[in-house]
């Protein structure tokens, strides 16, 4: 394909037509020297540290410095966000939420959840290069953009570009898993490194659990067996933290009761943690409007019961509950 054909393709996708590092510097409004430094010296521009997981293990975070992060944000905003992820990907994109991932599985009798181990570090620089090259950038610019977005040969957990690039790289994985699941009446979605398959019979789900590990391995990822789980008709079914029932996906009874209890403590003056309650209310509003309306009614009842009290006045001022 000629250079003109590549440029036409880029423009047709609404992407910046960059043919050289000079073009990249002009497009992102940085000096040529600065772009060269940020793209060729990336191994020196990260702060690496570990944070504890609930499991007792640690998660490695590779945090780019301020200037590199700003350039990565430019790449995300002007290139990556203009590309569509797989229709089966429900996370890491604008407007996507855990509710979008859970809703397709409402009404399923059996749910298989799988976690991909070391998700970002298993997306290699070669995969990222193919993304940039496939949309029309030449060899040199694809290599420069790959340098900007990768660290030690893989996606760094901490760079703003990593989530979207991981989604784009996983498009083939999503296509293959849906290609297997769809014809068998199994619903497949992926939220970042969480894969979910659901169906009506245990045989199909158990058979799927044995097969898809091969596909995952073939695509360069590995399954975290400790987080692989099958929920049937006798167990509460959860998808990315939300409880999925026959007709509804939401926060579930336990979380609902927990929020009610915390609000009650506020009215009784036994707690002063408005920040946590507001966070829980905002979360509930975003994923479960039915439960949120019930909480709203409960708060109004408590206001009447404790009307005139100092606690009630403070709660009215501090809790950001929506009608």
- Rounded to the nearest integer, the mean pLDDT of the chain is 92
Q: What is the pLDDT of residue 218?
A: 94
C-alpha to C-alpha distance for 243 and 18, rounded to whole angstroms: 46
C-alpha to C-alpha distance for 42 and 51, rounded to whole angstroms: 22
Q: Are 195 and 220 in contact (CB under 8 A)?
A: no
Specify the higher pLDDT residue, 271 or 216: 216
Q: Are 105 and 239 in contact (CB under 8 A)?
A: yes
pLDDT at 5 over 80: no
Q: What is the pLDDT of residue 306?
A: 83
- Coil, strand, or helix at residue 274? helix
> Among residues of the chain, what percentage have pLDDT more than 70?
98
Per-residue pLDDT tens for 104-137?
Answer: 999 999 999 999 999 999 999 999 999 999 999 9
Q: Are 246 and 108 in contact (CB under 8 A)?
A: no
Q: At 323, is the pLDDT very low, low, confident or very high (cuts 50, 70, 90)?
A: low
Per-residue pLDDT tens for 37-66?
Answer: 999 999 999 999 998 877 778 889 999 999
Q: What is the pLDDT of residue 205?
A: 94
Q: What is the pLDDT of residue 309?
A: 73
Q: Where are the domains of the chain?
A: 3-231, 251-314
Q: What is the pLDDT of residue 148?
A: 98
Per-residue pLDDT tens for 305-318?
Answer: 887 777 677 777 77
Q: What is the pLDDT of residue 64?
A: 97
- Coil, strand, or helix at residue 186? coil
CATH class of 3-231: alpha beta
Q: Are 252 and 243 in contact (CB under 8 A)?
A: yes
> DSSP labels for 137-165?
--HHHHHHHHHHH-BTTB--BTBTTHHHH
Q: How many CB atoms are closer than 10 A to CB 318?
A: 13
pLDDT at 268 over 60: yes
pLDDT at 12 over 90: no
């Amino acid at each position: 394909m000629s250079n003109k054909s590549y440029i036409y393709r880029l423009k047709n996708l609404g992407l910046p037509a960059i043919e050289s590092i000079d073009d990249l510097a002009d497009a992102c409004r940085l000096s040529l020297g600065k772009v060269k430094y940020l793209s060729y010296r990336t191994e020196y521009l990260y702060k690496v540290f570990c944070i504890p997981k609930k499991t007792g293990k640690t998660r490695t975070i590779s945090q780019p410095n301020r200037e590199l992060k700003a350039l990565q944000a430019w790449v995300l905003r002007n290139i990556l966000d203009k590309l569509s992820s797989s229709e089966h990907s429900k996370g890491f994109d604008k407007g996507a939420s855990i509710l979008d991932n859970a809703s397709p599985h409402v009404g399923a009798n059996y749910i298989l959840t799988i976690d991909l181990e070391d998700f970002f570090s298993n997306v290699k620089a070669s995969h990222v290069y193919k993304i940039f090259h496939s949309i029309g950038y030449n060899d040199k610019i694809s290599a420069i953009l790959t340098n900007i977005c990768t660290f030690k040969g893989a996606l760094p957990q901490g760079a703003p570009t990593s989530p979207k690039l991981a989604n784009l790289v996983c498009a083939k994985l999503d296509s293959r898993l849906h290609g297997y699941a769809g014809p068998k009446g199994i619903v497949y979605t992926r939220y970042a490194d969480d894969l979910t398959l659901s169906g009506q019979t245990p045989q199909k789900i158990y058979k799927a659990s044995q097969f898809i590990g091969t596909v995952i391995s073939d695509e360069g990822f590995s399954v975290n067996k400790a987080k692989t789980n099958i929920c049937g008709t006798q167990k509460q079914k959860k998808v990315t933290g939300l409880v999925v029932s026959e007709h509804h996906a939401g926060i579930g009874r336990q979380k609902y009761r927990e929020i009610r209890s915390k609000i009650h403590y506020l009215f009784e003056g036994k707690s002063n943690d408005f920040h946590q309650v507001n966070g829980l209310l905002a979360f509930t509003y975003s994923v479960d409007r039915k439960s949120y309306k019930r909480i709203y009614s409960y708060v109004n009842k408590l206001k009447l019961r404790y009307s005139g009290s100092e606690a009630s006045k403070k709660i009215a001022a501090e809790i950001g509950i929506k009608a």
